Amino acid sequence: MFNPFLRGSTAISAGADTADRPRATRRKVTHMLQMQELLAKSYRDFKEGSIVKGRVLEIRPREVLVDIGYKSEGVIPAHEFDDIETMEVGDEVEVLLERLENDEGMVILSKEKAAYRQNWNKIASVFAGDGLIKGKVKSVVKGGLMVNIGVEAFLPASQIDIIPPKDLQQFVGNTYDFKIVKINDDRKNVVLSRRELIEQERSEKRQKFLEGVKVGDTVTGAVKNLTDFGAFIDLGGMDGLLHITDMTWGRLGHPSELLKVGQELSVVVLDINKEKERVSLGLKQTQKNPWDQIEERFPAGQRVKGKITNLVPYGAFVELEEGVEGLIHVSELSWTKRIMRPSDVLTQGQEVEAVVLGVNKEEQKISLGLRQLEANPWDEIEKKFTIGSRVKGEIRNMTAYGAFVELEDGIDGMIHVSDLSWTRKINHPSEVFKKNDEVEAEVIDIDKTNQRISLGIKQLSDDPWKNIDEKYKIGDLVTGKVTKLASFGAFVQLQDEIDGLVHISQLSEEHVTKVKDFLKIGQEVEARVIKVDKVERRIGLSIKAANYSEEELKRESEAFDNLRPGEDMVGLEKAFEAAEEDYRPGEGKKK
């Protein structure tokens, strides 16, 4: 084997015979053999892939020259040294011996790889133990953060905190405690968790808090999160719920109107559930209850002032003082006007005056009235509108059962359909009126309790049926116009809009199957009166008896009286209801 340390032109073989050589020569050979043995032993101590100690010989701008005691020095790139500014020649460093010689005869060393291997062994040892380690966040990567714990490790976003943060950049450059949750020795991958440590710490704090707190205690915390139903308060590792109903004695639409995240609060512990680790908190309980002695401060009948805080279909809420609201029901807005929605007369934020109608301390309700600020016009309604007096007004509205007449602002009277005519059957007031028509009527009844005035049109004239027996007598020959056809006969309008009924049996001497085959609406006919009933308000007519003698007429009258109930000359109201044809000409047949 060639030994570069032997400078002579001839190498001496270890196995040569030395017996005949001079003594000086023998000593020289012995010394060289000893050197060869030492060098061979030194070479065996340097193994590629091992970590060795070296000494800094020279610090250059881009590299550091290191002596590991081998025949040649090693060169390490300067960027592998984190503290190169503080290094000095002669400093000892640990490096990884990658190759003993490269093509240029240089030793290949790496400080980074030596540190990585040492750190990996340390990390594997930590993982086998409690797994706790410190590290510095290097950068943001997809799905989380890269952390330097001696080697690069991955921290998933879900393991950064209890609630995954939105901005990961805030963690870069900071040093934290982590727990190693997974390592892969083959791939040299490490996965960390910071959340586990936080949860463990919070769990310990929760237990400590639950052991030391009791209902009624006042505790301090910071608003951690806001929801529609309340706020979560961080009590130092223990989260408590502050429900929206326990934030203030007053009205609150959303917790954000009163609180903000990070705000410090003093709250009262309302309830503790140690099994579920839940704590209910109250903020309004730290203040005096404004509903104490509420009846003394707001007695019924007292006038109060406040601000409209909310408008709903059934009324308006008025803030009388902080934490105290009253409700003006829609029915208490006006004595006379029919207000359908409070928003038609009130606006949110409006300052109003009202009267206290009642207080319910248990349910924390105050009833208010706006109309009570003025006298009720219905209290003296009988002085303005006496029964029997005539009034005028405008048709404001019509329904199937009558027409409403505005007598003065907010005061209406109603004309029922039955009070429109003495003689006609009115099915709907629109047969007589149009909206906004000016009408005259008579006051026929006043109901102060229910605030109703009943009016009548027919009462303006005399009832023609009072003296009907003087105007129409049996045997009288009359003329009239057919106004309505029914299966049982025809109605003929006489004077004063009085209708008489010609029964189907009184149409002709011949048998009549259908009335409409014999008469038409609007047709002028001549008939004889064969029945007058003042009490039942009915007149029986006979067309076929128009030319009868007095004796024949008497027989027809008796026959008319003997008709079966279903065919009888019933009262006009019932007869109209049974009619199959429409009442007036020009209108279609009922379906």
SS3 at position 164: coil
One domain for residues 257 and 354: no
Q: Mean pLDDT, 10 residues at a time, over the chain (591 residues)? A: 36 42 54 50 60 83 83 80 80 78 74 74 79 88 88 88 86 91 80 87 82 86 90 85 87 87 90 85 85 87 92 92 90 85 92 93 90 83 85 90 86 89 83 89 88 89 82 88 90 86 90 90 91 85 84 72 48 45 39 37
Return the H-helix or E-strand segment holding 541: strand 538-542
The burial of 591, by beta-carbon neighbours within 10 Å (0-12 exposed, 13-18 middle, 19 or more buried), is given as exposed
One domain for residues 325 and 361: yes
Residue 10 lies in a domain: no
One domain for residues 226 and 180: no
Last residue of a domain, one of 86, 115, 144: 115
Residue 135 lies in a domain: yes
Contact at 8 Å (CB) between 422 and 458? yes
489 phi and psi, to 5 degrees? 165, -160
Name the residue type at position 19.
A
SS3 letters for 409-447? CCEEEEEEHHHCCCCCCCCCHHHCCCCCCEEEEEEEEEE
C-alpha span between 343 and 329 (Å, rounded):
12
One domain for residues 107 and 143: no
Supply the pLDDT for residue 6: 36
Cα–chain-centroid distance for residue 274? 32
Return the H-helix or E-strand segment holding 119: helix 111-128
Residue 543 lies in a domain: yes
* CATH number of the domain within which 365 lies: 2.40.50.140
Supply the pLDDT for residue 25: 54
The burial of 455, by beta-carbon neighbours within 10 Å (0-12 exposed, 13-18 middle, 19 or more buried), is given as buried
In the DSSP assignment, the letter for residue 80 is G
One domain for residues 144 and 158: yes
One domain for residues 456 and 476: no
C-alpha span between 562 and 162 (Å, rounded):
99
DSSP string, 468-531: HHHH--TT-EEEEEEEEEETTEEEEE-GGG-EEEEEGGGS-SS--S-GGGT--TT-EEEEEEEE
Q: Residue 148 pairs with which residues in a beta bridge? A: 136, 152
Q: Residue 326 pairs with which residues in a beta bridge? A: 318
One domain for residues 173 and 189: yes
Supply the pLDDT for residue 351: 94
One domain for residues 420 and 359: no
Supply the pLDDT for residue 243: 93
238, HSE (Cβ side, Cα atoms, 13 Å): 25
Last residue of a domain, one of 325, 355, 372: 372
Supply the pLDDT for residue 22: 55
Supply the pLDDT for residue 103: 66
- Measured from the Cβ of residue 557, the count of other Cβ atoms closer than 10 Å reads 19
Of 556, 554, 552, 555, nearest to 542 by C-alpha is 556
Match 């093509």 to its residue by tokens: 103
In the DSSP assignment, the letter for residue 249 is S
One domain for residues 330 and 265: no
Residue 206 lies in a domain: no
One domain for residues 381 and 368: no
The number of helix segments (H) and strand segments (E) in the chain equals: 8, 30
In the DSSP assignment, the letter for residue 375 is -
Determine the length of the chain: 591
Q: Which domain holds residue 184?
A: 130-198
Contact at 8 Å (CB) between 491 and 500? yes
SS3 letters for 257-315? HCCCCCCEEEEEEEEEECCCCEEEEECHHHCCCCCCCHHHHCCCCCEEEEEEEEEECCE
* First-to-last C-alpha distance (Å) of the chain: 130
C-alpha span between 171 and 162 (Å, rounded):
15
Residue 536 lies in a domain: yes
Last residue of a domain, one of 430, 460, 490: 460
Copy the structure tokens of residue 286.
């730290």
Supply the pLDDT for residue 591: 37
Alpha carbon of 270 to those of 213, 229, 275, 284, 285: distances in Å? 11, 17, 16, 11, 9
Contact at 8 Å (CB) between 358 and 294? no
Own/partner contacts of 167-174, CB < 8 Å, gap of 24 or more, are 168/140, 168/144, 169/140, 171/137, 171/145, 172/137, 172/138, 172/139, 172/140, 172/145, 173/136, 173/137, 174/136, 174/137
- Measured from the Cβ of residue 560, the count of other Cβ atoms closer than 10 Å reads 20
Residue 5 lies in a domain: no
One domain for residues 475 and 574: yes
Kindly give, in sequence order, each residue whose CB lies less than 8 Å from that of residue 146, ignoring residues fewer than 6 positions away.
137, 138, 139, 140, 152, 153, 154, 155
The burial of 368, by beta-carbon neighbours within 10 Å (0-12 exposed, 13-18 middle, 19 or more buried), is given as buried
Contact at 8 Å (CB) between 162 and 202? yes
Residue 40 lies in a domain: no
One domain for residues 477 and 565: yes
Structural domains counted in the chain: 6
Instruction: Report, in this order, helix, strand and coil percent for the chain, each rounded to 5.
Output: 25, 35, 40
Supply the pLDDT for residue 69: 79
Residue 67 lies in a domain: yes
| CA-angle at 52, arms to 50 and 54, nearest 5° | 150
